[in-house]
Amino acid sequence: MRKFARAAFLGALLAAPLFQTVQAQTPAPAVPEAMPFDIPYGTPIDMDEAHKGIMAAVTEAKMHNWKMAVSVVDPSGNLIAHATMDGTQIASIAIAQAKARTAALFRRPSKLFQDGVNGANGPPIPGILGLLAISGGVASEGGYPIVKDGKLIGAIGASGGIATQDGMTARAGLTAVGGSAN
């Protein structure tokens, strides 16, 4: 066992410079010319459309017996409409608003921040949390920008369950107002 450990150690020691050479030769990824999430702003969502999205989200939540808070904000993250289902944990009210605000201000789903912080697509990026703290945002699934005719008109956020339940609830509201989660 000891001979094997020594051989493995020597093998790793000899291979390390080779690995470093290969690593050094790997080109850095190209910098894209297009800005990601460069969605132009449109006329803010009106209260009737916001209520339509909220009611669709609440209907989805009721089908699963989930208790949710659902918020719709304008492109600057200001609250347009909100509903809290009976029995929803109180903390979910502020969280739903923060998810919607995150999606609106950054023009992307709040789940992308969750993935970044958790390292879902590479190394974790804890600095994202500081950026979100400044804007009152959150790194959690359940917030989606509402884009109509290629323009950002607001965002919807849901909270009350686990992240995937929040996401499914918010997507139902997004779909009802003609948005897409892509």
Kindly tell me if the per-residue pLDDT of 181 is higher than 90: no
Question: Residue 113: inside a domain, yes or no?
Answer: yes
Please give the share of the chain, as a percent, with pLDDT higher than 70.
84
For residue 182, the model assigns a pLDDT of 63
34 belongs to a structural domain: no
- What is the number of structural domains in the chain? 1
Asked if pLDDT for residue 16 goes beyond 70, the answer is: no
Q: What is the pLDDT of residue 28?
A: 65
Reply yes or no on whether the pLDDT at 150 is more than 90.
yes
How high is the pLDDT of residue 34?
85
- Determine, yes or no, domain membership for 129: yes
Q: Is the pLDDT of residue 48 over 80?
A: yes
pTM: 0.81
Question: Predicted confidence band at 66 (pLDDT cuts at 50, 70, 90)?
Answer: very high
CATH number, residue 160:
3.30.450.150
Task: Tell me, yes or no, whether 35 lies in a domain.
Answer: no
Band of residue 97 on the pLDDT scale cut at 50, 70, 90: very high
Dihedral sign for Cα 125, 127, 130, 132, please: negative
* Angle at which helices 111-118 and 127-135 cross, to 10°: 150
> CA separation (Å) from 132 to 49, 52, 71, 128, 162?
27, 28, 18, 6, 20
Tokens at 160, concatenated: 């009350």
Instruction: Please state the rounded mean pLDDT for residues 32-42.
Output: 88
Domain that holds residue 135: 47-176
In this prediction, residue 105 has a pLDDT band, given cuts at 50, 70 and 90, of: very high
Flag whether pLDDT at 10 surpasses 70. no
Among 79-83, 115-119, 170-174, where is mean pLDDT lowest? 115-119
Q: Has residue 21 got a pLDDT over 80? A: no
- Decide if 75 is inside a domain: yes
Residue 120 or 138, more confident: 138
Any domain includes 32: no
d(CA 161, CA 55): 17
Concatenate the DSSP letters of all residues of 114-133 into one string: HHHHHTTTSS--THHHHHHH
Overall average pLDDT of the 49-71 stretch: 98
